[in-house]
Each structure stands twice: as structure tokens, then as C-alpha cells.
């Protein structure tokens, strides 16, 4: 047992430690903004937007208030441009965080919930044709858990049926498809979340849209700024959802370390993948290293709740992503009777193990030992 080397509780995510890792650079960035006297729509936004667009591999990046808004603005912009209309359908994985679905219903679009594959936990692209109707306008692809969910079949399906491929890249910053392109640049537009716990996390809420579509970027920028492109002139009924200068400065510091941070996550993941051997525990299919940035490390276990309690009793924090699927939530009563067995199984069995760029290899080995000695 590696317990002797892990005297403390293994936190699910130690944000304090993550911040300390880049403490001096972050303090300097925040101080620079504080001292500048300029807190919104300034040089920090410009710099971060430029650097993040380059990093992702898109021509445009528009900062906004959070990841949910990023997705809302993309679809709202498509509606404003006449490419979609309320009532149109968007195919989206049924096993996603609620924000992916909210972004659609907020715009009056109809989410068409697609089952994932149990072995990858990603959208099952073999189901796409069966979900297509005259009203389908888009696929919202979610790179859940930090895994690249893109496939050539999804891209072909979108091309053939003239659908917008939108990526929810909230959990997958830095991830790449097998040809080297990063998630977020694989479709027509992508929404990003910089919620503090994300691989690229701010000191509060923050988000962005990336795209190569100049008009879309301009529309999103206006929508997130009261609907205005020129001061005191309002083209759309927008909202106030901007990225503030302190968050942009913080994100720009962390962006420089993102690839190294993701590599550190992969090191922990490798220990889990190589070490976990328990007949009651299933790991999702392993993919090429670059295609997974391990925002989370999900495992499936029939005795999930017992395993979680057991790990907790041994000082290991875990979380469930997510306990209730969107179609069973109270806010979507109209779908509560839907049967989505794969999604439901994932939600009943999923457990996320601790993983981060500051977790130690001893801690990971300790978690492996515990899981391997778990039985009901
Ligand atoms: C898959 C996914 N999409 C969208 C979001 C929304 O991002 P935010 O929390 O920044 O609004 C999240 C955040 O948790 C997410 O995990």
C-alpha cells in the first residue's frame, strides 16, 4: 500500500494547490490589472482572445461570461443570422452536463437526445441517421470528461446534411483529434468554459466562443455586449456577458502552462489505466494520448455508491458526473418518461476518481491499491 506516503486526504481537486503552483505569475497578472484602472474590454481581453484563438487553431475568439453563455450565444447568433429558427432540432448526447441542453432550450431549439456508447461514454455516431429529421440543423458535440468525441462519421453526417457542427469544449481544453487539430477547432464553432475547476480555469466564471466564421464571431460579440456593436446603438436584444480583464489576465497565464498541466494529468491517468484491475470496475476505452486531457477520470462500477463510500472512508474524495441525466431532471418534465438505457446506466454507475496536475503519483497508486482491494 502507498498509504504511508499519502498521509492527508486525497482531495478530488485541490484548487489552492493549483493556484499556488503559478502563484507569482498570477499575482503579478492580477496586480497589473488592478493597477491599470481598466477592468473590462481592454488589452488583457485582446491578448487572451488572440492567444486562445491561436492555441485552439481558430481565427476568432470572443470572451464571454461563462461556458453556458458561450453555447447560448453561438445558437442565438445562428438564429439571428437566419440559419436556424426556434423549433429546429439539434442532436446532442443525452449524457452531458445540463448546460449543453440549457443552451438549446434557452434558444427555443429542440434537443434530440442521442445515446452514447457505453465503452467510450461519447456520442454513438451510428445513431445519427436515425435521429435526422427535416428540422435537424446542428449536432452539438460534447467532449465530455476531456475525451475527444469527434469522429469522421460525425463530420461527414454534418457536411452531407448541411448541419452546423458545434463543439462543447468546456471539459477538453488542449485535447486533439488524431490529425493534430485541437478540439474546439473541429467544427463550425465551439463554446468553452473557464469555470475554476476546468483544465483551463479562471478565478470565477468565464467562457469563450471560438470560430473561423467572422460574422458569427461579430454577432456573438454583440450579443454578449447588450446586443451592441457600436456604443449606445443596439442591433440585438443581447445581455451583459463579458469576460472581465482580471479573468482574461489569469487565463493568459494559465494558458501558457496548459499543455504541461494536461501532461501531468496524463501521468496520473496512466497509473490508473495500468493499475486498476478489479472485475467490478470498468474503464472507458483508452485513446491515443493527445486525444484525452483527462478533465475527469470516469470509471463505471455496478456498486458505485458502495465504492464511493469505501474510498471516502479511506480518505479519497470522488464525485459523480452526473447523478441525474438531463432527461430525468425536474426542469425537463416533458422527457422524464423517455427511456435512454445507456445514458441511465452511465449515470447510475459513473464515479470520477481524483485527477489533476498537482496530484502526486503516490496518491494515484494509493487510489489504485484501494480500488483493487474493493469487493462487495
Ligand atoms: C460539458 C459542459 N458544458 C457546459 C458547461 C458550462 O460552463 P459554465 O459552468 O462555465 O457555465 C460545463 C460546465 O460545467 C460543462 O461541463
For 188-210, the pLDDT digits (tens) are: 999 999 999 999 999 999 999 99
To test ligand 1's pocket by mutation, which of 195, 244, 320, 321 has the most ligand atoms within 8 angstroms of CB? Answer: 195
What's the CA-to-centroid distance between 190 and ligand 1, angstroms?
Answer: 12
| DSSP bridge partners of 298 | 352
Spell out a b/e string for 170-205, using b for 16 or more CB atoms within 10 Å of the CB, else e.
bbbbbbbbeeeebbbbbbbbbbbbbbebbbbbbbeb
pLDDT band at 103 (very low <50, low <70, confident <90, very high): very high
Ligand 1: nearest atom to the Cα of 195: 10
Q: How many CA atoms lie within 13 A of 306 on its CB side?
A: 8
DSSP 82: T
Please state the atom number of ligand 1 nearest to the C-alpha of residue 142: 1
Task: Identify the pLDDT of residue 8.
Answer: 81
Ligand 1 atom nearest to CA at 205: 10
Read off the DSSP letter of residue 186. S
Q: How far is the CA of 98 from the centre of ligand 1 (A)?
A: 8
Q: Which of 97, 191, 199, 319 to mutate to test the pocket of ligand 1 (most atoms within 8 A of CB)?
A: 97
Q: Please choose from 193, 295, 352 the residue to mutate so as to test ligand 1's pocket, defined by most ligand atoms within 8 A of CB.
A: 193
What is residue 376's predicted lDDT score, i.e. its pLDDT? Answer: 87
- On the question of pLDDT at 270 being above 80, the answer is yes
| Bridging pattern class, strands 110-114 and 89-93 | parallel
Average pLDDT rounded to a whole number, residues 144-167: 98
Residue bearing the CA closest to ligand 1, atom 7? 67
Whole-prediction pTM value?
A: 0.97
Which residues is 292 bridged to in the sheet?
A: 147
- DSSP label at 334? G
Residue 193 CA, closest ligand 1 atom number: 10
Can you tell me the distance from the alpha carbon of 180 to that of 175, in angstroms, rounded to the nearest whole number? 9
How far does the centroid of ligand 1 lie from the alpha carbon of residue 193, in Å?
6
* Grid cell for residue 226: 447588450
pLDDT of residue 334: 97
Give the integer Cα–Cα distance in Å for 266 and 103. 30
The bridge status of strand 189-193 relative to strand 164-168 is parallel
Cα 109 to its chain centre, rounded Å, is: 21
36 CA distance to ligand 1 middle (Å): 31
- Closest residue to atom 4 of ligand 1, CA basis: 99
Q: What is the CA radius of gyration of the chain?
A: 21
Ligand 1 atom with minimal separation from the 96 CA: 1
Rounded mean pLDDT of 156-182?
Answer: 98
- Ligand 1 neighbours, Cβ below 6 Å, are 66-68, 96-97, 99-100, 142, 168, 170-171, 193, 195, 205, 207
> What pLDDT sits at residue 3?
57
Q: What is the model's pLDDT at position 2? A: 59
Pair 105, 56: CB distance under 8 Å: no
Residues contacting residue 247 through CB under 8 Å, at least 6 positions apart: 63, 194, 202, 203, 204, 206
With contact defined as beta carbons under 8 Å apart, do 63 and 45 qualify?
Answer: yes
Instruction: Determine the distance separating the centroid of ligand 1 and the alpha carbon of 72, expressed in angstroms.
Output: 11
Three-class DSSP category at 92: strand
| Angstrom distance (rounded) from CA 73 to CA 91 | 18
Q: What is the pLDDT of residue 68?
A: 98
Phi–psi pair at 272, nearest 5 degrees: -65, -50
Ranking 5-9, 24-28, 108-112, 207-211 by mean pLDDT, the lowest is: 5-9
Total H helices, total E strands in the chain: 12, 12
Whether 345 and 118 have beta carbons less than 8 Å apart is answered as yes
Q: What is the mean pLDDT of residues 100-122?
A: 98
Q: Is the pLDDT of residue 353 over 80?
A: yes
Closest CA to 63 of 257, 200, 235, 197: 200
| Ligand 1 centroid, distance to 369 Cα (angstroms) | 32
**Atom 8 (ligand 1) nearest CA:** 67
Distance 221 CA to ligand 1 centre (A): 19
Nearest atom within ligand 1 for CA of residue 194: 10
| C-alpha of residue 69 to centroid of ligand 1, in Å | 9
Distance CA 23, CA 5 (A): 25
Residues 35-74 have pLDDT tens digits of 999 999 999 999 999 999 999 999 999 999 999 999 999 9
pLDDT above 90: residue 351: yes
Residue 35 CA, ligand 1 centroid: distance in Å = 31
- Span 203-241, pLDDT tens digits: 999 999 999 999 999 999 999 999 999 999 999 999 999
Q: Cα–Cα distances in Å, from 114 out to 75, 117, 120, 123, 231? A: 19, 10, 14, 7, 42
pLDDT value at 1 more than 80: no
Residue 6 pLDDT: 60
DSSP string, 277-329: --TTEEPPPP--GGGB--SSEEEEETTHHHHHHHHHHTTB--B-S-SS-GGGS
C-alpha dihedral (199, 202, 207, 212), degrees to nearest 10: -60
Task: Report the mean per-residue pLDDT for the chain.
Answer: 97
pLDDT at residue 7, as a whole number: 61
- Average pLDDT of span 303-308: 98
Q: How far is the centre of ligand 1, averaged over its atoms, from the C-alpha of 26 (Å)?
A: 23
pLDDT-based confidence at residue 263 (cuts at 50, 70, 90): very high
Please work out, in degrees rounded to the nearest 5, the angle formed at the alpha carbon of residue 262 by the alpha carbons of 91 and 317. 85
pLDDT at residue 372 in the model? 98
140 Cα–ligand 1 center, Å = 13
**So what's the pLDDT on residue 90?**
99
pLDDT at 71: 99
Helices 23-36, 245-275: crossing angle, 10 deg rounding: 160
Amino acid at each position: 500500500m502507498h498509504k504511508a506516503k499519502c498521509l492527508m486526504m486525497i482531495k478530488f481537486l485541490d484548487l489552492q494547490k493549483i493556484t499556488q503552483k503559478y502563484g507569482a505569475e498570477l499575482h503579478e497578472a492580477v496586480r497589473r490589472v488592478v493597477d491599470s484602472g481598466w477592468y473590462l474590454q481592454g488589452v488583457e481581453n485582446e491578448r487572451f482572445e488572440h492567444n486562445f484563438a491561436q492555441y485552439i487553431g481558430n481565427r476568432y475568439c470572443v470572451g464571454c461570461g461563462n461556458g453556458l453563455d458561450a453555447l447560448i450565444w453561438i445558437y442565438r447568433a445562428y438564429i439571428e443570422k437566419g440559419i436556424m429558427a426556434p423549433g429546429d432540432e439539434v442532436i446532442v448526447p443525452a449524457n452531458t452536463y445540463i448546460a449543453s441542453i440549457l443552451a438549446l432550450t434557452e434558444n427555443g431549439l429542440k434537443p434530440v437526445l442521442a445515446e452514447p456508447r457505453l465503452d467510450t461514454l461519447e456520442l454513438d455516431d451510428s445513431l445519427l441517421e436515425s435521429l435526422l429529421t427535416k428540422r435537424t440543423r446542428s449536432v452539438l458535440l460534447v467532449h465530455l470528461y476531456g475525451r475527444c468525441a469527434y469522429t469522421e462519421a460525425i463530420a461527414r453526417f454534418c457536411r452531407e446534411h448541411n448541419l452546423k457542427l458545434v463543439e462543447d469544449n468546456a471539459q477538453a481544453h488542449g485535447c486533439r483529434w488524431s490529425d493534430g487539430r485541437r478540439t474546439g477547432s473541429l467544427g463550425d464553432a465551439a463554446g468553452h468554459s473557464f469555470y475554476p475547476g476546468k483544465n483551463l480555469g479562471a478565478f470565477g466564471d468565464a467562457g469563450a466562443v471560438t470560430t473561423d466564421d467572422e460574422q458569427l464571431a461579430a454577432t456573438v460579440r454583440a450579443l454578449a455586449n447588450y446586443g451592441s456593436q457600436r456604443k449606445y446603438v443596439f442591433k440585438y436584444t443581447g445581455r451583459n456577458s463579458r469576460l472581465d480583464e482580471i479573468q482574461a489576465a489569469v487565463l493568459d497565464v494559465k494558458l501558457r502552462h496548459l499543455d504541461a498541466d494536461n501532461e501531468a494529468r496524463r501521468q496520473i491517468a496512466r497509473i490508473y489505466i495500468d493499475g486498476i484491475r478489479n472485475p467490478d470496475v470498468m474503464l472507458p476505452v483508452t485513446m491515443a494520448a493527445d486525444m484525452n486531457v483527462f478533465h475527469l477520470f470516469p470509471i463505471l462500477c455496478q456498486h458505485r455508491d458502495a465504492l464511493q463510500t469505501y474510498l471516502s472512508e479511506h480518505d479519497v474524495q470522488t464525485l459523480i458526473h452526473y447523478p441525474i441525466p438531463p432527461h430525468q431532471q425536474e426542469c425537463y418534465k416533458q422527457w422524464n418518461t423517455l427511456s435512454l438505457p445507456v445514458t441511465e446506466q452511465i449515470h447510475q454507475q459513473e464515479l470520477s476518481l481524483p485527477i489533476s496536475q498537482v496530484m502526486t503519483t503516490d496518491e494515484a497508486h494509493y487510489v489504485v491499491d484501494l480500488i483493487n482491494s474493493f469487493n462487495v
